[in-house]
Amino acid sequence: MEKHTLIPNREEDGQRLDVFVAARLPDLTRSAVQKLTAQGLLTVAGKPAGKNLRVQEGRPVEITVPDPVELSAEPENIPLDIVYEDKDLLVVNKPKGMVVHPAPGNPDGTLVNALLFHCRDGLSGINGVLRPGIVHRIDKDTSGLLMVAKNDFAHQSLAAQIQIHSFTREYEAVVYGNVKEDEGTVSVPIGRHPVERKRMAVVKGGREAVTHFRVLARYQGFTHLRLRLETGRTHQIRVHMAYLGHPVAGDPVYGPKKVIERLCGQCLHAKVLGFVHPRTGEAMRFESELPGYFTGFLHTLSPL
């Protein structure tokens, strides 16, 4: 267990607590700082810090960082569809149905289990022992491209690109109904549902969330969309499309009660991933073909 005492200077006065601590302690991400705050492990002037606190010049911030939890995820020889790999990172094409990292109810068979086997000890540790190398996530039943960092240097660079919205993430989805606008933007905040805690929702005081969409094709009862994330909130596309009245086809959480069972989850594919390579500075872009479940569903629809 490590303890740190940090004293804000004049230039840092007024910064958000998580921003201040993450800048002073680069091994901690802002999300990690937020979790430690929620656990009561950050104090300011001897009192537990609130999550929205802003630091003041000269007022000490004390943080306790627990020792790493022993790794419980085990390497598993699970085939991976690797689109790109070098010494710093890899891009994986995740299939529908694969969970990204172990969690209650999904202790194994995850992408992390497969990565531990493939990369051995070569994964970043910033996101903890249960999510080594995971820079960003996609849902279990969302298919497509996912970035993985092999070291902390790459992880910090890629996470910073996501933070300043320079990390390109484009999806394709089939949604219910006829989206009338050819293109548009959804910009409403997302937070935890006030009653159903496993769901997200558009809520006042939630985190900023911005999704851009463009119509690719219209069908009877459905619309094929290209979507670009400006932010990356949990379930963002699914929540925003449901908010517009056009939930993602097959979505068992945010869609109609009568689910399209043959889709086995939402018809949503992470198609494009673009970023600047953390070491070389090269602009990189990867694109994934639509999987069979997606194209098969499109073929059952009647064009308008």
- CA–CA dist 201, 193 (Å, integer): 5
- CA–CA dist 227, 25 (Å, integer): 35
The residue from 88, 139, 141, 251 that is catalytic is 139
- CA–CA dist 148, 74 (Å, integer): 17
Terminal CA-CA length for the chain: 62
- CA–CA dist 123, 104 (Å, integer): 22
- CA–CA dist 115, 132 (Å, integer): 9
- CA–CA dist 169, 146 (Å, integer): 10
Instruction: Look up tokens 């999806």; give the residue.
Output: 171
Three-state DSSP class for residue 274:
strand
Catalytic status, residue 88: no
Taken as a whole, the chain contains a residue count of 304
- The catalytic site residues sit at 139
